[in-house]
Chain A
Amino acid sequence: MNSDVRLDCTGMVCPQPIVELAKQRRKMDPGEILELWADDEGAKRDIPAWCEQTGNEFLGSEENGSFVKYFIRTV
């Protein structure tokens, strides 16, 4: 999947990926696609939960060896 912005949150633990995600979201325009990399177990549920809570669209995730790529479309 192609993305406009990539945010590397590997090595971070709760709540840092969500905090970084919220900070990044503020810098983006609606309709852009953000690719977030994370390797903490909690992110698997936290990223979709953040999307539901904030109204941004969760497009899915891809396993990539030691980390997971999460794709979000900003609304």
Chain B
Amino acid sequence: MGKASIIVFSGDLDKALAALTVATGAAASGMDVTMFFTFWGLNVIKKGGAWKGEGFMGKMFNLMARGGDAIGPSRLNMLGMGRWLMKRMMKKKNVKLPQEMIADARELGVTFLACEMSMRVMGVRKEDLIPVDDVVGVATYVQEASKADIALFI
């Protein structure tokens, strides 16, 4: 049925929604799907709450780079007003939020991999993330993506 490999670099609500839509759609169509979360994309799979990270700098950084429910749209966020408005519109139009789509993706067997290097740079520990299948490096990505029929960077 083929293989899909998606790098989630962005931590924006709209881009996470697009990545998760492709991932769940591909998995629902019988594809073997892997999502690689790296840099700001780690915010998409961060647990809720503010106080996370490795050491003082990690804690300060992750306080600014909040994840989970706190991620906002790539445009018109306007100090969180855009996020609030977009989420309300999504609810009204019956579009699932990223957190709900992650549950669907997991149920359909999508593999979640977190990038080790960006976790180190941003002071993100494994326990700051929702459960992932593995923490990996670029060679794992290359191995997966070289076999993929669909490869995306979002």
Do A and B belong to a common assembly? Answer: yes
Question: Considering only CB atoms and an 8 Å cut-off, how many residues of chain B contact the other chain?
Answer: 15
Tally of A-B Cβ pairs under 8 angstroms: 40
* Contact A22 to B27, CB < 8 A, known contacts A14-B21, A15-B21, A54-B1: yes
Considering the complex, which residues of chain B in the window 5-48 have a beta carbon less than 8 Å from any beta carbon of chain A? Answer: 21, 24-25, 27-30
A4 to chain B, nearest CB (A): 20
Contact of A22 among B21, B28, B94 (CB under 8 A): B28
Which bracket fits the contact residues of A?
Answer: 10 to 19
Contact of B108 among A16, A22, A55 (CB under 8 A): A22
Bound Cα distance A59, B94 (Å): 28
* Contact A19 to B104, CB < 8 A, known contacts A50-B28, A53-B29: yes
Please tell me if the beta carbons of B94 and A12 are within 8 angstroms of each other in the complex: yes
Contact of B30 among A11, A12, A53 (CB under 8 A): A53
Contacts of B29 in A (CB 8 A): 18, 22, 50, 53-54
Q: B residues touching A (Cβ–Cβ < 8 Å)?
A: 1, 21, 24-25, 27-30, 93-96, 104, 107-108
Known contacts A15-B25, A22-B27; 6 further A-B pairs (Cβ under 8 A): A12-B94, A19-B28, A22-B28, A23-B28, A53-B1, A53-B29
Q: A residues touching B (Cβ–Cβ < 8 Å)?
A: 11-16, 18-19, 21-23, 50, 53-55
